[in-house]
């Protein structure tokens, strides 16, 4: 972590905090000196003062658990207003992109690919009102990632052959969907390198405006992309916590949150993905020759694509209908129902969405050349009543037991498919198909995407180790009694 302090000027103070990298759970346990930290399950929607206020007895703010996927129960709260404090959490952008998307479909990169780096940046604004100074114990901003993982349980036991969430709060996993699977924290009132850090990280702020700029470095190998699907989701939230001491050894912590989205664009090294692709087949010793061509294996949603289909038939074979469809396949791991271990295979759920249908083929012609220059995968396309078309997604590192680092936690792949209906001898109806694997991306996230280059901040930073950043959250085995959630007078 890097923290820089500037002295107040005209009742204004600007501090710059930068998270260097998330730390592993073993490092957190070794370096953590805050043993009185409590754990609190919260809901963020019950606040009368815009920001949620937690009341607790520990000096440090409690470790919070909440359902980050439920935006009704836990909406983003970016502003807190009270008699003594105005706090606002401002993020420089809602969406952050990395040119780091890889896929088995597009093969190897044209050059060695290194992890892509980026930064989630913003400012925490704190205004102390009135005429008297205000004591603050903790001022921090966290970048927390939450994941909800699914698996198909197979076997002969009573709960076999069903899809289930594998990291529920009651699943005995170290990481439930209520706790971060990855987290980094910036402290703005921590000690610098070489200085001692006591349990009370307090600072007395005179009335004025205080701007705390923060920066979280994002590594594409550690941070999976955001996604929301019916078989798995990943969401990121910025969480600002400001703790104020009260009388009788009690404390109040203001919690603000903001949802940020992390997307991965196609890396420029994969220029081979822009080449056209063609598949060909022959049916019944040349009774029908057919080939399918795409102008590119990279498809961007709402962007026209060129597709061509060549059909050459012989007598006795009549073409009735051609359908062009996008097939989306969602894959999740499989678990053995008896042992609970991860199996080698995946459960795959395909869904077909029709894009174009062509009929009326002239029975006198023996050769057909079907060309579609404006084929579009629309963003409004639905593959079922409950699930929309989702861009291609491949993320590994499942939390399941026995799953190695190469196992997918969730994979969403796509194929462009041509389905041909034939009539043979006026007595037999045959359905043939050709398919080409494709990479489906959000619009403007292909190789041509002009993403801003990440540059290290020109601000001179003093680096010190963080004992508060985790790659996986700690196990909360003991929970101390707390006063609960309330709307305090912070």
Give pLDDT tens digits for 232-255.
999 999 999 999 988 888 899 999
Q: Do domains 2-146+176-268+449-485 and 273-441 have the same CATH topology?
A: yes
What is the predicted pLDDT for the residue at 370? Answer: 94
Q: What is the C-alpha separation between 317 and 311, in angstroms, rounded?
A: 11
Beta carbons within 8 Å of 204's beta carbon, 6+ residues apart: 133, 134, 135
Q: What is the C-alpha separation between 2 and 392, in angstroms, rounded?
A: 35
Helix (H) or strand (E) holding 26: helix 25-31
Q: What is the DSSP string of 52-80?
A: EEEEESSSSPPEEE--TT-TTTS--B-EE
Flag residues of the chain having pLDDT under 50.
1-15, 19-36, 109-111, 191-198, 385, 449-454, 456-488
> Is the CB of residue 55 less than 8 Å from the CB of residue 168?
no
**E-strand stretches of 67-193:** 79-81, 85-91, 95-101, 117-128, 134-136, 138-154, 162-165, 182-187
Token code pair at residue 367:
């050769």
What is the predicted pLDDT for the residue at 450? Answer: 44
Q: CA 136, 137, 138 angle in degrees (round to 5)?
A: 100
> Is the CB of residue 313 less than 8 Å from the CB of residue 455?
no
Give pLDDT tens digits for 172-218.
655 789 999 999 999 887 544 333 344 556 788 999 999 999 999 99
Domain extent listing, the chain:
2-146+176-268+449-485, 273-441
What is the predicted pLDDT for the residue at 44? Answer: 84
> Is the CB of residue 418 less than 8 Å from the CB of residue 292?
yes
Provide CATH code, domain 2-146+176-268+449-485.
2.60.40.640
Q: What is the C-alpha separation between 394 and 402, in angstroms, rounded?
A: 19
What is the predicted pLDDT for the residue at 458? Answer: 42
Q: What is the C-alpha separation between 475 and 477, in angstroms, rounded?
A: 6
Provide CATH code, domain 273-441.
2.60.40.640
Q: What would you measure as the largest C-alpha separation in the chain, in angstroms? A: 95
Exposed, middle or buried by CB within 10 Å (0-12, 13-18, 19+), for 198? exposed
Q: What is the C-alpha separation between 101 and 446, in angstroms, rounded?
A: 9
Beta carbons within 8 Å of 53's beta carbon, 6+ residues apart: 47, 80, 252, 253, 254, 255, 485, 486, 487, 488, 490
What is the predicted pLDDT for the residue at 107? Answer: 59
What is the predicted pLDDT for the residue at 228? Answer: 92
């Amino acid at each position: 972590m890097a923290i820089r302090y500037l002295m107040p000027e005209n009742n204004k103070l600007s501090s710059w905090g930068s998270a260097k990298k998330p730390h592993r759970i073993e490092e957190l346990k070794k370096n953590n000196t805050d043993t009185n930290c409590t754990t609190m399950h919260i809901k963020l929607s019950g606040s009368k003062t815009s920001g949620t206020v937690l009341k607790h007895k520990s000096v440090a703010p409690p470790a919070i658990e909440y359902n980050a996927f439920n935006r009704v129960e836990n909406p983003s709260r970016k502003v807190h207003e009270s008699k003594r404090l105005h706090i606002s959490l401002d993020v420089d952008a809602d969406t952050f992109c990395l040119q780091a998307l890889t896929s088995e479909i597009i093969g190897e990169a044209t050059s060695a690919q290194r992890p892509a780096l980026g930064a989630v940046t913003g400012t925490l604004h704190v205004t102390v009102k009135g005429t008297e100074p205000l004591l603050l114990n903790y001022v921090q901003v966290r970048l927390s990632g939450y994941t909800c993982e699914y698996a198909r349980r197979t076997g002969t036991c009573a709960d076999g052959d069903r899809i289930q969430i594998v990291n529920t709060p009651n699943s005995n996993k170290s990481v439930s969907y209520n706790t971060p699977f990855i987290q980094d924290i910036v402290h703005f009132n921590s000690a610098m390198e070489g200085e001692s850090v006591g349990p009370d990280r307090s600072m007395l702020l005179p009335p004025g405006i205080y701007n705390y700029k923060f920066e979280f470095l994002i590594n594409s190998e550690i941070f999976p992309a955001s996604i929301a699907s019916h078989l798995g989701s990943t969401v990121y939230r910025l969480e600002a916590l400001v703790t104020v001491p009260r009388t009788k050894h009690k404390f109040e912590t203001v919690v603000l949150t903001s949802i940020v989205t992390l997307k991965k664009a196609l890396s420029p090294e994969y220029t081979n993905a822009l080449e056209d692709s063609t598949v060909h087949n022959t049916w019944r010793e040349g009774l029908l020759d057919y080939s399918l061509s795409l102008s590119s294996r990279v498809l961007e949603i709402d962007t026209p694509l060129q597709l061509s289909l060549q059909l050459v038939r012989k007598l006795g074979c009549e073409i009735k209908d051609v359908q062009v469809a996008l097939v989306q396949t969602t894959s999740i791991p499989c678990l053995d129902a008896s042992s609970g271990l991860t199996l080698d295979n995946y459960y795959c759920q395909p869904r077909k969405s029709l894009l174009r249908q062509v009929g009326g083929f002239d029975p006198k012609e023996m050769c057909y050349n079907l060309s579609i220059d404006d084929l579009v995968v629309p963003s409004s396309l639905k593959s079922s009543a409950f699930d929309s078309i989702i861009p291609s997604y491949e993320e590994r590192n499942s939390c399941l037991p026995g799953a190695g680092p190469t196992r997918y936690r969730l994979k969403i792949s796509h194929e462009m498919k041509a389905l041909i209906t034939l009539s043979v001898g006026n007595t037999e109806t045959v359905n043939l198909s050709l398919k080409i694997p494709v990479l489906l991306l959000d619009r403007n996230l292909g190789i041509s995407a002009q993403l801003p280059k990440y540059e290290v901040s020109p601000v001179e930073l003093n680096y010190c180790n963080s004992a508060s950043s985790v790659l996986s959250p700690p196990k909360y085995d003991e929970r101390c009694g707390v006063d609960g959630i309330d709307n305090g007078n912070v």
